[in-house]
Amino acid sequence: MSGEADAIIIGSGPGGATVAEVLTRAGWSVVIMEKGRNHLLDHDDMTKPSGDYSNDEIKFTSRYFLGPDPLTEPRAFRLNADEGEHTHVGEVNSIPTTVGGGGTHADGKVPRFREEDFRTHSLLGPQPDAHVEDWPLDYEELEPYYAEVERAIGVAGRAGANPFAAWRSGPYPMPPGAPMYGATLSSTAAEKIGLHPYEAPTAANSIAYDGRPACNNCGFCAFFGCPIHAKGDPVALLTKAMATGRARLMAETYVSRILTNGRRATGVEYIDAAGAMHTMDANLVVVAGGAIETPRLLLLSGLEHPSLGRHLMVHFQTIVVGHFPALSLHPQKGRSVTHVHDDAMAQDDAARAAAKDAGVPWIRGGLVEHSGGGHTIMSARHTPWGRAHAQAMIAGDLRDHMWAFIMQGEDLPYATNAVDLSPSIRDARGYPVARVTYEPGRHELAASKHHGKILQHVLEEMGAEYVIHTSSPGVSYHGIGATPIPESRHVIGTARMGDNPDTAVCDRWGRVHEWDNVIVADSSVFVTATGYGPTLTLVALASRAAHHLADSKPMGPVPGGAVTGENAPSGAASAASAN
């Protein structure tokens, strides 16, 4: 088949959707190839969202509605090479495989990185066994793209709320949504011990925005698709791209190989929904499969580089849970997480002392999310069977009386944590699956221990009867049975960017050094993980890369904090203009 568009974009998640929107806005034509199903866009009119999402715990948490299915698209896992080929086959860091990718299941927290996050090596220095380096760009260069994507997807937040945040060229497009009751209590407790909680910047409408309704706090947020599409990432970008008439979205289309001739990609080989193989020519190929599937595809396509697949980072999650028998915290009402704090990323005397005790030069924690208990089926699974079950469910400890902090602890870029091709495990189409090798290092364990104690103190200040401290992946000192397989959906760093082609897979624009016309537009290109979720930064980088290709400029922030759309709450306009 001959080329039908200016660019082929592999993957329709936040990165691919961003590139599609920017390029089509600039007049380019694109074909988006997504291996997952389309449950996001209306099947008859892809400029509109669909009605497939729902408040359905079985569908989303038991039956892999957003994919990948671990039987037909498994991954392999091992802690390290000493464990042999693998110790587990099935689900590993399963970001959705579906139109919209990881944006569909996220609760939409979208913090920016700070200026210092691009300069970790310069500011803090190296770490043993890890390749901590500075990024090949800085915050000032990325800021206009942060502003553009916040406006394009719709982010609710309050400028100035976070004392650790970097400067902004404009306000947030929308004010924060309603604070969850539990978060108001945990924020008060955190402030009492000197921390600085604030409303999490969230890509879920707090008011009607851009033709989509305000979030109505249904509680089925994290790990669920939004039935009313109040979450904007990436449905806002995909529908805009489709509305130009210059985008074609091919769902259930599995790109098996990027075809190359010397330094140039000539197109892709793909398998359609019926299982037939085809090729499509392209002048530009954009790879946006995420930090596990992107290196997998690059490896399957024959790219060789010492850093390809290496430096996998997932955020070592510290989970501290308090039990509050006298409080009904009703976490099922709200947007999963409404408050966060950044203090665990600051360098202070206590953190420096903890680092010294652990024998590492420094430690950094991560963003701490204030959140509540589980949904009903999940809670039920953890109660006893038999005569005690009903009373345990009525008491609702796991559902209504738990409040937790989850710290997205910064992972360091260890070369031994990596994605490669499994020697023996195959997907249903016969291709080698990704094998994840991941083990937390001394830095991650030290940061988790240090900051976990602080978080425990906050929950005690809040009135917790008892506190449990665990992590994902689990480690033995917690004393609670926990899997070594990380459950984080933040996957980062496996095709790092940099100016040195000997050590970086991609250049400062995300272009693969070895191939002139292949761009990586997802969190594979990250040099370091920081302690922030990757979504907004990968989207900003994708926007920057696409504008560079199209020689166009970002549209800038929302002017003056204007509140747009129907149902704007009274006073919101003046509050927003004060941002």
Partner 1 sequence: MPVWLSEQEYATLLAACQQMMPSGFGGPGADEAGVADYIDTFLGAFTFDPPRIWAGGPSSGRHGGEARFGDFVPLSRLDELAWRMRIEGSQGRPEREFNGPVVGLQQRYREGLAALGADFAEADGKEQRRRLRDDDAFRELLWEHCCEGMYGAPEYGGNRNGIGWSYIDVEGDVQPRGYTDAEVSQP
Q: Enumerate the β-bridge partners of residue 322.
A: 403, 467
In the complex, the smallest distance separating the C-beta of residue 138 from partner 1, rounded to whole angstroms, is: 38
Nearer to partner 1, 211 or 560 (CB): 211
Of 136-144, 162-170, 179-187, 409-417, which part binds partner 1 (CB under 8 A)? Answer: 179-187
Place of tokens 């394009």: 152
DSSP string covering 439-490, please? ---HHHHHHHHHHHHHHHHHHHHHT-SEEEEEEES--GGG-S---SS-----
184 binds partner 1 (CB under 8 A): yes
- Least Cβ distance, residue 58 to partner 1 (angstroms): 4
Q: Which residue type, as a one-letter code, is found at position 280?
A: M
The residue (of 63 and 263) whose beta carbon lies closer to partner 1 is: 63
Does residue number 333 form part of the binding site for partner 1 (CB under 8 A)?
A: yes
Q: Which of 218, 415, 421, 573 binds partner 1 (CB under 8 A)?
A: 218
**DSSP result, 6-42:** SEEEE--SHHHHHHHHHHHHTT--EEEE-SSB--SB-
Does residue number 380 form part of the binding site for partner 1 (CB under 8 A)?
Answer: yes
CB 361, CB 124: distance < 8 Å = yes
Is residue 74 part of the contact set for partner 1 (CB under 8 A)?
yes
Strand partners, 287: 10, 520
Contact residues for 401 (Cβ-Cβ < 8 A; gap 6+): 323, 324, 325, 327, 328, 329, 373, 395
Q: Which stretch binds partner 1 (CB under 8 A): 59-67, 105-113, 355-363, 366-374?
A: 59-67
**250 neighbors 262 (Cβ within 8 angstroms):** no
Q: Is 188 in the site for partner 1 (CB under 8 A)?
A: no
- Binding of partner 1 at residue 194 (CB under 8 A)? no
Site string for partner 1, 31-50 (x = CB under 8 A): ------x-x-----------
Please calculate the CA angle 330-331-332 and round it to the nearest 5 degrees.
90
Which residues in 297-336 belong to E strands, given as ranges? 316-323
Q: Does 233 bind partner 1 (CB under 8 A)?
A: no
**440: cis peptide before it, omega within 30°?**
no
The token duo for 470 is 């665990």
Which residue has 């979208």 as its token pair?
110
Shortest Cβ distance from residue 368 to partner 1 (Å)? 20
- Contact flags string 292-331 toward partner 1, x per CB under 8 A: -----------------------------------xx-x-
Q: Can you say whether the dihedral through the CA atoms of 575, 577, 578, 579 is positive or negative?
A: positive
Contact between 401 and 483 (Cβ < 8 Å): no
The correct pick among 394, 502, 551, 566 for binding partner 1 (CB under 8 A) is: 394
- Region from 78-86, 114-122, 171-179, 482-490 binding partner 1, contact rule CB under 8 A: 171-179
Under the binding rule (CB under 8 A), the answer on residue 2 touching partner 1 is: no
Residues in the interface with partner 1 (CB under 8 A) total 64
Q: Which stretch binds partner 1 (CB under 8 A): 24-32, 80-88, 354-362, 423-431?
A: 423-431
Assign 204 to helix, strand or coil: strand
- Taking contact as CB under 8 A, which single stretch among the options 8-16, 61-69, 141-149, 496-504 is the one that binds partner 1? 61-69
Q: What is the CA radius of gyration of the chain?
A: 22
The piece of 99-107, 127-135, 210-218, 479-487 that touches partner 1 (CB under 8 A) is 210-218
Tell the smallest beta-carbon distance from residue 573 to partner 1 (Å): 18
> What is the contact surface with partner 1 in residues (CB under 8 A)?
37, 39, 51-59, 62-65, 69, 71-72, 74, 89, 177-181, 184, 215-220, 227-228, 252, 273-275, 327-328, 330, 332-334, 376-377, 380-381, 385-391, 393-394, 396, 399, 425-428, 430
